[in-house]
Chain A
């Protein structure tokens, strides 16, 4: 397993005071809390800081950890020396708060034993111990079109499991999930009993999936409404016309009213994501100019300049 440099993970010196350690942890926790920070990697950093703080905030665990020496490098292959913690007495359980099962093998090899034999903590009488399994949270990315039809997705989950010997290992399993039609981005789906198994007579935890849409070349969703930029020629906007438009459910003919301007938004009622009520589909007109890249095209533009009395800047006051 890999050595964890807890001081480095909290960004403090090895001789930092308990106050400095607490401040550093609080700041990292606020910055990287997965409910606050949606960036990839934030959750990993939050867990890393939590594990480091779990050890360094407790003078007993910190002293024991320090005893390993300062020469270890982050990520270096590590085996706990036999009886490395002889002479240290851990008064509490190994875990005091937070998601303890998320801690690393490294943590478990050093302090996992304390959890098993801790006297006063809630883990003291293991024979009597029942606990509901943990809830799991995962994001699942689907195509916007899947929200119109429903979709089946196989998702792999890695669940921490405690074996008979008390070691924590990761078990991979696959779930086939039917994503119902009409889901929206940011919505959660709850799969009862699909989280971690419970301990003792405790029930299994639940699995929560948060729906994300994969970026789409044409469409973007806001709630149940779907938007698309629709390029049109100047004459289509000026004179009106019928334009073939793709929607997630297939192409439709859309009528452009005469005298349309840039950014005009045309609604197709009820053609957004299905539901009660269904969302709408919006085509946002984007007027595209023909390039003046030939003598003939240039002559057309010159002719417009001569023959159309048009001031695009009447309101600028200059």
Chain B
């Protein structure tokens, strides 16, 4: 039974508060570190503020770098386009989250005037 239902050991929540290095980020996403640096220069991912010279990122950047990679591979979007698409997707997501809190208006009824 245990091997049919293996308990997953290595769980990582990709949170803002968890820090990873440039090497870890590019290894996890299987992209070149140089390309990640290009993403940083375009503002697609933001490194964390640091005193040293080494770039550090939040683990949430993993999801963003992978998305950028898929958009470039699947749709042929260039770097600037990728930055734009990701920003717009963020805005759509924020708007949709807010929409969920808005009560749907009931269908209008015709009013009489005297």
Q: Which of A's residues lie within 8 Å of B, judged by CB? A: 26, 29-30, 33, 35-36, 46, 50, 97-98, 132, 135, 154, 174-178, 180, 183, 185-194, 206, 208, 220, 222, 227, 276
A185 to B100 alpha-carbon distance, docked (Å) = 13
B71's partner among A35, A185, A191 (CB-CB below 8 A) is: A35
B7 pairs with A191, CB closer than 8 A = no
Measured between beta carbons, the chain B residues less than 8 angstroms from A135 are 66
B73 pairs with A98, CB closer than 8 A = yes
A33 pairs with B30, CB closer than 8 A = no
Measured between beta carbons, the chain A residues less than 8 angstroms from B5 are 154, 174-176
Residue B93 interfacial (CB < 8 Å): yes
* Contact sample, A vs B, 7 pairs, CB 8 Å cutoff: A26-B75, A33-B70, A35-B89, A36-B85, A189-B11, A189-B12, A190-B13
B8's partner among A50, A175, A220 (CB-CB below 8 A) is: A175
Residue B114 interfacial (CB < 8 Å): no
A26 to B10 alpha-carbon distance, docked (Å) = 38
- The minimal Cβ–Cβ distance linking B11 to chain A, given in whole angstroms, is 6
Measured between beta carbons, the chain A residues less than 8 angstroms from B85 are 36
Q: Identify which of residues 60-88 in chain B touch chain A, using a CB-to-CB cut-off of 8 Å.
A: 60, 62-63, 66-67, 70-71, 73-76, 85
Measured between beta carbons, the chain A residues less than 8 angstroms from B75 are 26, 29-30, 33
Number of A-B contacts (CB under 8 A): 77
Residue B17 interfacial (CB < 8 Å): yes
B71 pairs with A178, CB closer than 8 A = no
Measured between beta carbons, the chain A residues less than 8 angstroms from B62 are 188, 190
- The minimal Cβ–Cβ distance linking B88 to chain A, given in whole angstroms, is 9
Most chain A beta-carbon contacts within 10 A, residue among B4, B8, B71: B8
Besides A35-B89, A175-B5, A178-B11, 16 more A-B contacts (Cβ < 8 Å) are: A29-B74, A29-B75, A33-B70, A50-B74, A98-B74, A154-B5, A176-B6, A178-B8, A188-B62, A189-B13, A190-B12, A190-B13, A191-B10, A192-B12, A194-B8, A206-B28
A178 to B6 alpha-carbon distance, docked (Å) = 12
A135 to B14 alpha-carbon distance, docked (Å) = 15
Measured between beta carbons, the chain A residues less than 8 angstroms from B71 are 33, 35
Measured between beta carbons, the chain B residues less than 8 angstroms from A183 are 13
User: Which 4 residue pairs of A and B lie closest in terms of their CB atoms, listed nearest first?
Assistant: A192-B10, A190-B12, A188-B14, A188-B63
A220 to B6 alpha-carbon distance, docked (Å) = 33
Measured between beta carbons, the chain B residues less than 8 angstroms from A276 are 17
A97 pairs with B11, CB closer than 8 A = no
A193 to B58 alpha-carbon distance, docked (Å) = 21
Measured between beta carbons, the chain B residues less than 8 angstroms from A50 are 74
Q: Identify which of residues 91-114 in chain B touch chain A, using a CB-to-CB cut-off of 8 Å.
A: 93, 97-98, 100-101
Closest to A191 in B: B8
A174 pairs with B4, CB closer than 8 A = yes
A220 to B28 alpha-carbon distance, docked (Å) = 32
Measured between beta carbons, the chain A residues less than 8 angstroms from B101 are 220, 222, 227
Residue B15 interfacial (CB < 8 Å): yes
Measured between beta carbons, the chain B residues less than 8 angstroms from A46 are 74
Measured between beta carbons, the chain A residues less than 8 angstroms from B67 are 35
B4 pairs with A177, CB closer than 8 A = no
- The minimal Cβ–Cβ distance linking B67 to chain A, given in whole angstroms, is 5
A121 to B4 alpha-carbon distance, docked (Å) = 37
- The minimal Cβ–Cβ distance linking B31 to chain A, given in whole angstroms, is 12
A33 to B71 alpha-carbon distance, docked (Å) = 8
Measured between beta carbons, the chain B residues less than 8 angstroms from A220 are 100-101
A-contact 0/1 string along B5-49, CB 8 Å cutoff: 111101111110100000000001010000000000000000000
A177 pairs with B11, CB closer than 8 A = yes
Measured between beta carbons, the chain A residues less than 8 angstroms from B12 are 189-192
Closest to B7 in A: A176
Closest to B71 in A: A35
